Structures are given as C-alpha cells and as structure tokens.
Amino acid sequence: MPSPFSLAIIITFLTIFLAFLLTNTNNNPKYILKIISFWDKGLWELLSFAMQMMLMLVLGNILALSPYIDKIINFLIKDIASTSKAVVIVSIFTMIIAYLNWGLALIFGAIITRKIAENSINKNFKINYAIIGAAGYSGLMVWHGGLSGSAPLKVAETNHFLVDKIGVISINKTIFSPMNIFAAFTVIILVALGLYILSKKTNTEKINIKTIIDKKNNLDISQKNKKIKIDNSIVFLRLFAILMAVDIFYKIFTIKNISIVNINFINTVLFALGLWFHKNVSQFLKATAKSISSSSGILIQFPLYAGIMGIMKYSGLTSVMSNFFINISNQTTFPLYTFISSAIVNMFVPSGGGQWAVQGPIIVDAAKNLNVPVQKAIMALAYGDQLTNMIQPFWALPLLGITGLKAKQIFPYTLFIMLIGGFVYTFALILF
C-alpha cells in the first residue's frame, strides 16, 4: 500500500471531487475554488486535537521505556518456554494495557515480544516468533474502546468540535457502557484462546536475532551529562511528579464524577507516571527523544484530515453523506453500517483521532436523524477502527522495527485476530 501520508493526499483529492460533484448545485466551474477555500478554512482547525494525540502516543512510549516497565516485562516472561504460553501472556497483557493506553501498549507489546525471542536464544527453546509478534500487536484491537480512545474521550470534553450538535457525552455511556465492557472482555478472552489453539498447530524454530534491547532500554546517560546534578537527581524529578499528582487528585476529589476523564486528564496521568518511573531528567529526556519519532505521522497528517473535514463541513458534503446513510439504514442496521464503513475508512485514515474528525460529523448527523443513540454510533465507529488495525500496517511499524519481523510474517495471525474481533463487535452491536 502507499504510505498513509500519500493516502491522505489521495483522500483529499477524492473529497474535493465528491464535493464538486455532489454539492455544486449551480454547475459552476469556479466552485472548485470555493471548495479549496473550504479546505484551507479547515486545515488548521484540529491543531489542539493533534497535539493531544501526539502527547498520548509519546507519553505512553516514554512510560513503556522506563526501567520499572522493563522489570515487569522480565517478570512476566521469566517462565515462558513455549509459544502457546507466550501468546496467552503477551495477548492478554498487551490488550489490557491497550485498554488503558494505546501508546504504552504499542511499545510494551513490541518489547515483550522481542524479549521472549531473546530468551528463546539464551535458553535454547524453539518458538513461532511471528504469532507472538501478532499477539504483541493485538492491543490495537481494543484500544479505541478504552481509556485512550480518541472518539469517546473527545466527546467527553466540554468544548469538542461537535458539542453544538451532541453536547458532552460522558464515558459512562461509551467506554464504560455495558456493551463496550462486554465486547472488550470477550475479545480479550477469545483472542487469547484462539491464539493458544492456533499456536499448537504452527511450526516452531530457533530464533537468530541480534540483541537490540538491553536491560536498560538503551537509556544510559553519558559521563558528561552525569556531571549536571540537577538533571540526574531522582529527588528533583520525583518532586515534580508529586506536584502533578497533587493536581490530578485535586481534580478527582473536586469534580467527584467520571466526567473528569478526558484526553487532557489521561495525558496528565501519563505525564506524571512517566516522570515518576524514570530515574532522572536526563533519562526521561532520552526516552522522549526515542519516542517522539513515533508521533510524526500524527503531526504531519492531522492538518490534511482537518482540511478534509473542512471541505465536508462547509460544502455540505456531510449532509449529503448523512442522508445517504439515512436512506439505506434503520435503527437496527445503522450501527452495523457505521461499523463496516469505519473499518473501510481506517484503511485510508489510520489515525483514530483523524478518522473521528473526518467521519464523526457524518455519523452524528445520521444517528440523530434515525434516533439511534449517538453514543452507540460512536462506539460502532471505534469498533470498526479497531478491527482493520489488524491489517493496517501503519501502527505496526514500531513493533516491526523493534522485533525485526516483517509485516507479511504477522499478517496471517493478525487477520485471524481480526476475524475474532469482527464476530464479537457485530454480535455486541446487535445484542445491545
């Protein structure tokens, strides 16, 4: 496939073409200039949202690179000597962590997969490295329904970009809804069980890889930097982490309800944990430098998603597409159509936040017209986004880079995970 950035450019041209074709009521050739002005108007409307998403990924990565997470990973894998045991532990813990934070899970899954491979070399036992790698990527199957999910967290904010249409929707109605809890729990259990059964039927081999993750996650500080006492003081860093913790608990005890949990709150918690779990400022900044490159896709693509959103909003294309869904749907089928369309759109817009920006206005308008609960439509979008993450290579890049695996090696197994997720999410949307 082309790069995600190239796909974003293709979708921009496609959106311009559709807007010209479907909203140019006077058949005026000069209307194309108006559409380009709509694109320009929307181009920079998501800057704060883009920064929120970047921080969520970077702070999650920083936390995953801390020495304490490294110790937890070593504890989890110390008794693993077979592929079947590995896929169960890796998939369950990766998906649980992804439910808490997707950025943390991306790196956690990659590191634990790599360390199991290194253990297989050191202890001389055979494994199927590819299926374990797929287990390490399985967290992306549940992340959007979790505590770092872009769409449910965004609509929980007081000033989100659709607040005038749907108001503020608490995460009690999305992330902690009975439907989502059932779906997430079922996916975690069935994926772990499915990979366990599948691992019994796959071939194993001795792994031959060079060690690239050392016990300190390559965060050693140079001798020169060690001379700067304040940058290497654990007390100094912990004091600042405590200050952030005071702010967090003050908000909790002041607001006293679940509405406190939004993107900014999650990022504040991640920031505080990242500071606390690293030994000093120098180590924290080195982890930041290692993590920042993972957010480059969000940085450069979000303006394009915002431009697409601008065309759709200001040209009236959103209403055209909403009416299409209204005409082919009813209260029962609309969540399923949303789920399917979201899965398709995710192949072209791999960022969950970017997808919400592009697809959210259409879904909200159609849901309201069909009297479908908006919160259910939001979660249907989240499920579709999660589903095709299993065959969308964009977010797999950190895992592939760390493990040395190829996309074609893990693809058969991630496709298997996707089929499990597709069954569970379809059933949940019908059942609830």
Could you report the per-residue pLDDT of 384-402, keeping only the tens digit for each?
Answer: 999 999 987 667 877 877 7
Q: What is the mean pLDDT of residues 256-264?
A: 72
Q: Is 164 exposed, middle or buried (0-12, 13-18, 19+ CB in 10 A)?
A: exposed
Q: Report whether pLDDT(128) > 90.
A: yes
pLDDT > 90 in the chain, percent:
39
CA distance linking residue 153 with residue 160, whole number of Å? 10
Structure tokens at 55: 């921080």
The dihedral over CA atoms of 365, 370, 376, 377, expressed in degrees to the nearest 10, equals: -40
Query: What pLDDT is stored for residue 406 in this prediction?
Result: 83
pLDDT > 70 in the chain, percent:
92
Could you report the per-residue pLDDT of 402-421, keeping only the tens digit for each?
Answer: 787 888 889 899 999 999 99
Q: Report whether pLDDT(337) > 50.
A: yes
Confidence band, pLDDT 50/70/90 cuts, at residue 219: low
The dihedral over CA atoms of 307, 373, 365, 419, expressed in degrees to the nearest 10, equals: 50
Confidence band, pLDDT 50/70/90 cuts, at residue 116: very high
* Local structure of 114: helix, strand or coil: helix
Q: Report whether pLDDT(222) > 60.
A: no
Do residues 383 and 149 lie in contact, with contact meaning Cβ atoms separated by under 8 Å?
no
Query: What pLDDT is stored for residue 210 in this prediction?
Result: 55
* Local structure of 101: helix, strand or coil: coil
The amino acid present at 174, given as its one-letter code, is: T
Which residues, other chains included, contact 170 with Cβ-Cβ below 8 Å and sequence gap of 6+?
156, 258, 259
Per-domain boundaries in the chain: 44-216+389-431
Do residues 374 and 350 lie in contact, with contact meaning Cβ atoms separated by under 8 Å?
no
Q: Report whether pLDDT(217) > 70.
A: no
Query: What pLDDT is stored for residue 430 in this prediction?
Result: 94
Q: Report whether pLDDT(216) > 70.
A: no
Q: Is 237 exposed, middle or buried (0-12, 13-18, 19+ CB in 10 A)?
A: buried
Could you report the per-residue pLDDT of 138-158, keeping only the tens digit for each?
Answer: 999 999 999 889 899 889 988
* Run of H or E residues at 250: helix 234-255
The DSSP secondary-structure symbol of 222 reads: P
Q: Which residue has the higher pLDDT, 104 or 268?
A: 268
CA distance linking residue 34 with residue 37, whole number of Å? 5
Q: Which residue has the higher pLDDT, 291 or 109?
A: 109
Report which of 143, 101, 150, 102 is spatially closest to residue 356, judged by C-alpha positions.
150
Confidence band, pLDDT 50/70/90 cuts, at residue 324: confident
Query: What pLDDT is stored for residue 326 in this prediction?
Result: 79
Count Cβ atoms below 10 Å from residue 366 Cβ, excluding itself.
Answer: 25
Average pLDDT in the chain: 86
The dihedral over CA atoms of 153, 157, 162, 167, expressed in degrees to the nearest 10, equals: 110
Count Cβ atoms below 10 Å from residue 346 Cβ, excluding itself.
Answer: 25
